[in-house]
Amino acid sequence: MTMQHQQTLKSSVSLKGIGLHTGKIVNLVIHPARPNVGIHFVRTDLPGRPEIAALYRNVVCTRLATTLGRGDVKISTVEHLLAAFQGLGIDNAIVEVDGPELPILDGSSAPFVEAIDSIGVFGQAVVRPVLALRRKVELKVGEKWAVAEPSSRLEVHGSFEWDHPAIGYQEFYFREGQTDFREIAAARTFCMLRDVENMKKVGLALGGSLDNAVVMDESGVLNPGGLRYPNELARHKVLDALGDFKLAGIGMRAFIRMHRSGHELHGQLVEAIFKDPNNYEIIGGVREEVRTAPIAALAQRLVASVS
Ligand SMILES: [Zn+2]
């Protein structure tokens, strides 16, 4: 694939919805940002408006969702928005949030895609830096595995096997430039009813409902409308992976196959790739200090409006 230009949003866009864990309304504003800024989250509800860069080294928890943190400041459930950014080719954005987690919305990336589509994407006159994988990197954790191999573009093949009447074996193959992200954007997150009930007992998933997840019991799907696709779970796994790979902070050229993967495995794979510089080459490189700039400097890089 030829080099592509960086992109941001044409203007700011707002969304609001319930937080999965707190059950409280969260307001989100996505602002355009200048080239090489990357993706940054800002907690507007905390003194000093602390900021966290969407980079894999800032991941502090991968249980249930991907959580970023810096000191005491945390921002959770970032993966579905990051997946929308990855899928629509957004490189630079400042995301303001007035709570500890992003709104869960319908449990998919579709509402984020709709919001971005409603204002449009703006091409920037700077090349997008890309990590090109140079050799095979693989991980195996019990029954879960992930294999990354060199490719001319980002390809993700996700498969899943679960002995459940609504799941069985399923797979989905995403190929950048050929698969429209909108084919997976609406695939929702999955959970078992008993897990939701147990989480609620310990004060988690207070906002969890049939409106923001596919909820299953032993015999099937409880949501009145059923599944959106027969392989909705595999599509959602690929969606989650695209979001988690966005935490590399740059584009990726690799063919990644994964089975029974989750946020933890996705993060470990990105880490394993970065661990050895012989694994990859960065094309059209961006200076590290640009991506780790403090928010005071970032504010100057915010694009008030681009048209
Ligand atoms: Zn997810």
The separation between CA 245 and the C-alpha centre of its own chain, rounded to angstroms, equals: 7
pLDDT (0 to 100) of residue 160? 94
Distance from Cα 121 to the centre of ligand 1, integer Å: 24
The pLDDT score that the predictor gives to residue 304 is: 39
Ligand 1 center to 181 CA (angstroms): 15
At residue 302, does pLDDT exceed 70? no
CA–CA separation, 19 and 78 (whole Å): 11
Residues of the chain with pLDDT > 70: what percent? Answer: 92
**Residue 65 has what pLDDT?**
84
Distance 243 CA to ligand 1 centre (A): 9
- Reply yes or no on whether the pLDDT at 130 is more than 70: yes
How far away, in angstroms, is 297 Cα from ligand 1 center? Answer: 32
Catalytic residue from among 21, 31, 80, 263 = 263
Distance 287 CA to ligand 1 centre (A): 30
Residues facing residue 46 across a β-bridge: none
pLDDT digits (tens, 9 = 90+) for 79-124: 999 999 999 999 999 999 999 999 999 999 999 999 999 999 999 9
**Rounded distance from Cα 200 to ligand 1 centre (Å):** 19
Residue 160 pairs with which residues in a beta bridge? Answer: 170
**What local confidence, expressed as pLDDT, does residue 307 receive?**
33
* Residue 236 designated active-site: no
In a domain, 19, yes or no: yes
What pLDDT, in 10s, does the model give residues 161-209?
Answer: 999 998 999 999 999 999 999 999 999 999 999 988 998 898 888 888 8
Residue 306 forms part of a structural domain: no
Residue 207 lies in a domain: yes
251 in any annotated domain: yes
- Which two three-digit tokens encode residue 196? 């939701």
- Cα–Cα distance, 49 to 54 (Å, whole number): 16
Query: Is 114 inside a domain boundary?
Result: yes
Burial classification of residue 50, based on how many CB atoms lie within 10 Å of its CB (0-12 exposed, 13-18 middle, 19 or more buried): middle
Verdict on whether the full-model pTM lies above 0.85: yes
Let me know if residue 307 belongs to a domain. no
The domain spanning residue 135 has which CATH number? 3.30.1700.10
Structure confidence by residue, pLDDT tens digits, 2-52 = 788 999 999 999 999 999 989 999 999 999 999 999 999 999 999 999 999
- Domain membership flag for residue 286: yes
| Run of H or E including 192 | strand 190-192
Please answer whether residues 157 and 241 qualify as being in contact, where contact means their C-beta atoms are separated by less than 8 angstroms. Answer: no
For residue 201, the enclosing domain spans 5-301
pLDDT band at 293 (very low <50, low <70, confident <90, very high): very low
Number of structural domains the chain divides into: 1
Edge-to-edge strands of the sheet including 67-70?
Answer: 59-61, 67-70, 73-75
Phi, psi at residue 44, to the nearest 5°? -75, -10
